[in-house]
Amino acid sequence: MTPIVVIAGRPNVGKSTLFNRLAGRRLALVDDTPGVTRDRREAEGRLGELRFRVVDTAGLDMAPAGSLADRMRRQTEAAIADADICLFVIDARAGVTAQDRQFAEIARRSGKPVLLIANKSEASAGEAGRLEAYELGLGEPMALSAAHGEGLDALYEALRPLIGAPEGESAAAEAEEEVEEQEEAPPDRPLRLAIVGRPNAGKSTLINTLIGSDRLLTGPEAGITRDAIAVDWEWQGRKVTLWDTAGMRRRARVTDKLEKLSVADALRAVRFAEVVVLLIDATQPLEKQDLQIAHMVAEEGRGLVIAVNKWDLVDEPGRLMRDIQDQVQSQLSQVAGVAIVAMSALSGRGLDRLMPAVFETFRIWNRRIPTAKLNRWLEEQVERHPPPAPGGRRIKLRYMTQANARPPSFVLFSSSAAELPESYLRYLVNGLRDAFDLWGTPIRMHLRKSRNPYAGKR
């Protein structure tokens, strides 16, 4: 079983920078503002041949019971309880603070092996703080600079006996066996599902209810989630990676640097996803921003499901659903027929319809249509409604094929491709949806000019 290594400490000591360093890529948001990280974030970590699950956590902070900071602290304590090893980080340049002392006691009481890291020790800048850290009673402090990658060799030596990495020939043998297993094992990749929407729509609550655990930080405050957080889950035997994302406000309202980073992280999650659930607050009217987010998902070519949250608070549900359907139909033609699910993330009402809609959207998003069927259908469409005849000469549509799935993408060959109007392309796309059940997914239609076989011949 892969060991879990959790990174803990007070705010702004460099936990996320160390997390990114061990993950080998920039996953967690990093900023000078204290308290950027609020939820637990996990990734596959590596150091030399050591392999482990690394967890970034919110900065430990004493706060009134029930406050956001208090809920963040309890999330961190839960992460420490679930871990096998704790990396307790202090800022060596700032020295040991009262908060460091308080939370060193929490780490000690956990009963887990604790490695004390004196971060920001580049060029011996934090030597005095590192020596001061002995008083925490967590063993010898390791001088490290997560930002510059200094001191990782000492961390490797400390982690090696705790993780139990194989040595010598056995390590090579295990590595070879692992490669062989990966080559022989059938692909069983989880479906990548991102949850997006405006702030305070209930995205984190939805994921917590789905997985049956308070894994993500929730509360009445808008904008709690900052990082895009991945959570592995299984629904009816099918693996799913759920991505919780920061709320997306209108671009004109986003002026704070940290919020810009959060929105950019959410957009990366959408690009990484295969299906996206757009969560809408039923107690607020469908806003332009909701539609813009849906447009963005369609432009990225992702499968889309619209979930209307807080449905149990609606007085006239039938009328509201008709209004939403009318707006979606008139303003989201790129994903005509998109599934709309009414639900309550808090009570769980209606959630039994959400995941079937997600997997049905995923199935359509992956659909491939045989070329012979496509061209028979194209002949029928042309016969029913012939292409226009600019200048008195009818445009000929010669051939059609599906170039790709995910989303369904088609190539249409014509000797006069550039002259085919947008309205006729819409006619073909709508016909494809109806004939091949391609509702609720973006469709790509590419035009190619077919070669004239008599060109250049007398």
The pLDDT of residue 32 is above 50: no
Cα separation of 116 and 130, whole Å?
10
Q: What are phi and psi of 133, to 5 degrees?
A: -70, -15
N-term to C-term CA, the chain: 73
The pLDDT of residue 414 is above 80: yes
Q: Which CATH class is domain 191-365?
A: alpha beta
pLDDT of 9 reads: 87
pLDDT of 225 reads: 54
- Which residue, among 45, 1, 49, has the nearest Cα to 23 in the 3D structure? 45
Q: Computed from CA positions of residues 293, 298, 302, 306, in that sequence, does the dihedral angle turn out positive or negative?
A: positive
Mean pLDDT of 412-438: 91
Residues 6+ apart with CB under 8 A from 96: 90, 129, 132, 133, 135, 136
Q: Is 363 helix (H, G, I), strand (E, B) or coil?
A: helix
The pLDDT of residue 436 is above 50: yes
In this prediction, residue 118 has a pLDDT band, given cuts at 50, 70 and 90, of very high
Overall fold of domain 4-184: Rossmann fold (3.40.50)
What is each CA distance from 94 to 30, 128, 140, 457, in whole angstroms?
19, 9, 18, 82
The pLDDT of residue 445 is above 90: yes
430, two tokens = 């709508």
Cα separation of 144 and 189, whole Å?
36
Cα separation of 314 and 307, whole Å?
14
The pLDDT of residue 123 is above 80: no
In this prediction, residue 65 has a pLDDT band, given cuts at 50, 70 and 90, of low
In this prediction, residue 126 has a pLDDT band, given cuts at 50, 70 and 90, of confident
pLDDT of 184 reads: 39
The pLDDT of residue 75 is above 90: no
Helix (H) / strand (E) element for 54: namely strand 50-56
Percent of the chain with pLDDT over 70: 80
Mean pLDDT of 35-49: 75
- Helix axis angle for 288-299 and 317-331, nearest 10°, is 50
pLDDT of 458 reads: 53
> Is pLDDT larger for residue 74 or for residue 66?
74
**Cβ(229)–Cβ(272) under 8 Å?**
no
367, two tokens = 């659909």
Top-confidence range, 16-20, 145-149, 361-365: 361-365
The pLDDT of residue 222 is above 50: no
Helix (H) / strand (E) element for 444: namely strand 444-449
Overall fold of domain 371-449: GMP Synthetase; Chain A, domain 3 (3.30.300)
Domains 4-184 and 371-449 share a fold: no
Strand-pairing partners, residue 114, are 86
**Cβ(136)–Cβ(116) under 8 Å?**
yes
The pLDDT of residue 347 is above 60: yes
In this prediction, residue 70 has a pLDDT band, given cuts at 50, 70 and 90, of low
pLDDT of 353 reads: 96
Mean pLDDT of 189-202: 91
Instruction: Report DSSP letters for 165-229, one per residue.
Output: ---HHHHHHHHHHHHHHHHHSPP-PPEEEEEEESTTSSHHHHHHHHHTS--S---SSTT---S-E
The pLDDT of residue 56 is above 50: yes
pLDDT of 1 reads: 77
Query: Quick count: other Cβ atoms within 10 Å of Cβ 222?
Result: 11
Cα separation of 441 and 276, whole Å?
11
Mean pLDDT of 377-382: 95
In this prediction, residue 363 has a pLDDT band, given cuts at 50, 70 and 90, of very high
Any idea where the domains of the chain sit in the sequence? 4-184, 191-365, 371-449
**Cβ(240)–Cβ(233) under 8 Å?**
yes
Cα separation of 368 and 384, whole Å?
24
pLDDT tens digit string along 228-286? 678 889 999 999 999 888 777 665 555 555 556 667 777 888 888 999 999 999 998 78
Cα separation of 153 and 146, whole Å?
12
pLDDT tens digit string along 128-178? 888 999 999 899 999 999 888 888 999 999 999 998 754 444 444 444 444
Please give the mean pLDDT across all residues of the chain.
83
